[in-house]
């Protein structure tokens, strides 16, 4: 099985923590991508509380992942660099992404302090219209991989996941691994295939 391997050459054991209904015995996600990381981050997510009034239970799933062609592989960088995207997807597609995710680009210090400190541009679209380069833009990677539409586009191009540094609660200094299909997830305890999507 072509599991993703760690520095020692052995299949890397990763974890996903959830606080979910007791009958959920496999990882669940409302998003297209399933994220995994180290055990400490998984425990933080598993201990998350809910105010919905429903009965939830915490669990951590240890898994191996099949991850053969990640769209990005940057364990120490939490941002999706659009210069890298341009090299993989081309200029027009990257421009579309920049405009679609403009809100998150405009939240970065790079935008506020370097590209638009004097508010010369109304936004990312205006910046690009006036000759700005997509190569100067970036935003938090998980925002992109939260999108069903973008993941489906990447899957059609043969990509199966992403690796980047986390930027959420408990994961800011840890590497996160996401896969685009449940078919890429196996339990480490029994090597049981997670199941159909």
CB 64 within 8 A of CB 14: yes
The answer to whether the Cα torsion of 138, 139, 140, 146 is positive or negative is: negative
Q: Using the predicted structure, report yes or no on whether residue 190 has a pLDDT greater than 60.
A: no
pTM score of the predicted model: 0.86
Provide the CA 117 distance to its chain's centre, in angstroms: 29
Backbone angles phi, psi at 133, to 5 degrees: -100, 140
Q: Where are the domains of the chain?
A: 1-68+176-197, 74-145
Q: How confident is the model at residue 119 (pLDDT cuts 50, 70, 90)?
A: very high
Nearest CA to 187 out of 66, 38, 48, 70 is that of 66
CB 186 within 8 A of CB 63: yes
């Amino acid at each position: 099985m072509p599991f993703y391997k760690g520095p020692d050459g052995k299949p890397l054991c990763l974890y996903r923590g959830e606080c979910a209904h007791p009958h959920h015995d496999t990882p669940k996600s409302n998003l297209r991508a399933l994220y995994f990381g180290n055990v400490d981050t998984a425990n933080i997510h598993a201990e998350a509380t809910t105010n919905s009034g429903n009965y939830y239970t915490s669990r951590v799933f240890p898994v191996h992942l099949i991850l053969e062609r990640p769209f990005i592989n940057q364990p120490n960088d939490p941002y999706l660099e659009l210069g890298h995207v341009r090299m993989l997807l081309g200029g027009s597609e990257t421009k579309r992404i920049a405009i679609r995710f403009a809100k998150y680009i405009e939240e970065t210090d790079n935008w506020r302090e370097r590209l638009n400190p004097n508010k010369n541009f109304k936004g990312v679209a205006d910046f690009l219209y006036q000759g700005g380069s997509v190569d100067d833009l970036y935003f938090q990677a998980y925002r992109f991989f939260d999108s069903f539409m973008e993941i489906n586009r990447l899957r059609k191009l043969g990509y199966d996941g992403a690796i980047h540094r986390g930027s959420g609660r408990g994961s800011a200094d840890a590497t996160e691994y996401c896969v685009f299909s449940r078919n890429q997830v196996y339990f480490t305890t029994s090597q049981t295939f997670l199941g159909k999507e």
